């Protein structure tokens, strides 16, 4: 374990962009307003989750395209795009297009595996090829190759007035350095390192007996499991200890919250506590507790978190079901109170970014 927590270097936030089915525009506009606020507060990044067939953003790339026209500095990411729902070639085109529109600020995060509830959506998603689709890391390798500029076609040339390229167009040269993989197991963390990807680690990990990480009471220790995965990733990554890792815990500061907000935030965290007490389901997924409290309380808990001690970048996740005014308060406290207390400086005060960091 790192003897001292690293000073927080980059602060981001993550949202699912909840909306009302009867008025979806309002929810999407709220998300765009939060991204704009994040830039004004000095956040380094804003991230959107995918929510297919739910009441959250189903097309983060489209929403981030809109965000590129309302912002000029903040990095924009997906955390994460499940590739089982995507055609890698078409996704590579969309990502490159939005990256060009953003001026090189897009940070696509992705994962592999079958789509959630695949048995219910397979006929709509892949009516003719459902049984043949490959949801293994090979699907991700196709995306990586296409984003990096490898051939998508064996033909290039001119037909009449039409000009064709072998590789995806537009090609955005720096995009490949800003690809992130969402990993929750040792195997996926190691694979991400071997591929030279950046790593997104969230509030969910897979409890694997291989790591032997447990708390004094014998229960699996989320922080220890996460730290083990991060170390395994860096051991396989060409950049070693310099390989970028971003952590995505749910962190809710209450410094400027009203008594009603504090009570609601604490009730929300309590309602989700049972799932953090033991691994869940056949996959043995372990959830991190939501962190709610004042800045001094949160600093103490984060500095004691074994996973947090391994990172210097975070994208704290906003709770799913709060109101816009709640998110404004949380983001403001993160940027003006908790972030600085963790050693972070607003983006405008940062020295020039290193190559590949955008």
pLDDT of 192 reads 98
1 vs 229: CA distance, rounded Å: 12
The stretch 306-331 carries a mean pLDDT of 97
**The pLDDT of residue 323 is above 90:** yes
- The answer to whether 46 and 35 are in contact (CB under 8 A) is yes
129 located within any domain = no
pLDDT of 6 reads 81
The stretch 219-231 carries a mean pLDDT of 94
Backbone phi, then psi, for 291, in 5-degree steps?
Answer: -105, 120
Question: In the structure encoding, which two tokens stand for residue 94, read together?
Answer: 């969309």
Say what percent of the chain tops pLDDT 70. 93
The stretch 99-106 carries a mean pLDDT of 98
108 vs 324: CA distance, rounded Å: 25
357 located within any domain = no
Question: In the structure encoding, which two tokens stand for residue 260, read together?
Answer: 């009603």
264 vs 14: CA distance, rounded Å: 20
State the DSSP code for 288.
Answer: P
Residues making up the chain, counted from first to last: 358
pLDDT of 1 reads 47
Residues 6 or more apart whose Cβ sits within 8 Å of residue 20: 26, 27, 55
64: nearest Cα among 32, 87, 39, 90: 32
Domain range for residue 140? Answer: 10-119+134-152+165-349
**The pLDDT of residue 212 is above 60:** no
- Counted domains in the chain: 1
Which pLDDT tens digit goes with each residue over 121-171?
999 999 999 999 999 999 999 999 999 999 999 999 999 999 999 999 999
358 located within any domain = no
Instruction: Write out the E strands in the chain.
Output: 10-15, 45-48, 75-82, 106-111, 157-159, 162-164, 180-182, 198-201, 204-206, 245-247, 251-253, 285-287, 291-293, 313-317
**The pLDDT of residue 213 is above 80:** no
**The pLDDT of residue 3 is above 60:** no
Say what percent of the chain tops pLDDT 90. 91
pLDDT of 216 reads 52
- The answer to whether 285 and 245 are in contact (CB under 8 A) is no
Higher pLDDT pick, 349 / 24: 24
To which residue do tokens 């293994």 refer?
Answer: 136
Q: Which residues pair with 290 in a beta bridge?
A: none
pTM score, whole prediction = 0.94
pLDDT of 4 reads 60
128 located within any domain = no
Helix (H, G, I), strand (E, B) or coil at 250: strand
Sequence-distant contacts of 21-26: CB under 8 A, at least 24 apart: 21/55
197 vs 238: CA distance, rounded Å: 10
The stretch 349-353 carries a mean pLDDT of 51
190 located within any domain = yes
- The answer to whether 56 and 47 are in contact (CB under 8 A) is no
126 located within any domain = no
159 located within any domain = no
**The pLDDT of residue 120 is above 50:** yes
- The answer to whether 258 and 296 are in contact (CB under 8 A) is no
**Average pLDDT over the chain, rounded to an integer:** 94
CATH no. for residue 336?
3.20.20.30
104 located within any domain = yes
Which pLDDT tens digit goes with each residue over 9-65?
999 999 999 999 999 999 999 999 999 999 999 999 999 999 999 999 999 999 999
Which pLDDT tens digit goes with each residue over 274-313?
999 999 999 999 999 999 999 999 999 999 999 999 999 9
pLDDT of 354 reads 43
pLDDT band of residue 220 (cuts 50, 70, 90) is confident
């Amino acid at each position: 374990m790192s003897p001292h927590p690293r000073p927080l270097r980059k602060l981001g936030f993550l949202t699912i962009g909840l909306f009302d089915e009867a008025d979806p525009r309002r929810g999407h506009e709220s998300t765009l307003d939060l991204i704009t606020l994040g830039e004004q507060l000095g956040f380094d990044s804003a991230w959107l989750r995918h929510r297919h067939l739910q009441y959250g953003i189903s097309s983060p790339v489209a929403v981030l395209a809109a965000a590129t026209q309302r912002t000029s500095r903040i990095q924009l990411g997906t955390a994460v795009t499940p590739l089982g729902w995507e055609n890698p070639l078409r996704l590579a085109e969309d990502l490159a297009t939005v990256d060009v529109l953003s001026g090189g600020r897009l940070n696509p995060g992705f994962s592999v595996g079958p789509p959630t509830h695949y048995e219910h959506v397979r006929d709509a998603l892949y009516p003719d090829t459902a049984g043949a689709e490959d949801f293994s890391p090979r699907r991700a390798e196709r995306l990586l190759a296409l984003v990096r500029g490898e051939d998508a076609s064996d033909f290039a040339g001119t037909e009449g007035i039409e000009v064709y390229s072998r590789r995806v167009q537009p090609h955005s040269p720096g995009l490949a350095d800003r690809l992130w993989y969402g990993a929750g197991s040792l195997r996926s963390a190691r694979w991400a390192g071997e591929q030279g990807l950046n790593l997104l680690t969230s509030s969910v990990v897979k409890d694997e007996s291989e790591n032997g990480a447990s708390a004094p009471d014998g229960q699996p220790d989320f922080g220890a499991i996460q730290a083990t995965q991060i170390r395994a990733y860096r051991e396989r990554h060409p950049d070693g200890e310099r390989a970028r890792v971003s952590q995505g815990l749910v962190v809710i500061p209450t410094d400027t919250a009203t008594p009603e907000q504090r009570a609601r935030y604490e009730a929300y965290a309590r309602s989700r506590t049972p799932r953090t007490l033991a691994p869940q389901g056949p996959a043995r997924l372990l959830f991190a507790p939501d962190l709610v409290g004042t800045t001094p309380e949160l600093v103490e808990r984060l500095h004691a978190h074994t996973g947090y001690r391994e990172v210097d970048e975070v994208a704290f996740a906003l709770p799913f079901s709060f109101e816009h005014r709640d998110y404004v308060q949380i983001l403001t406290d993160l940027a003006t109170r908790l972030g600085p207390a963790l050693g972070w400086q607003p983006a405008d005060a940062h020295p020039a970014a290193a190559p590949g960091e955008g």
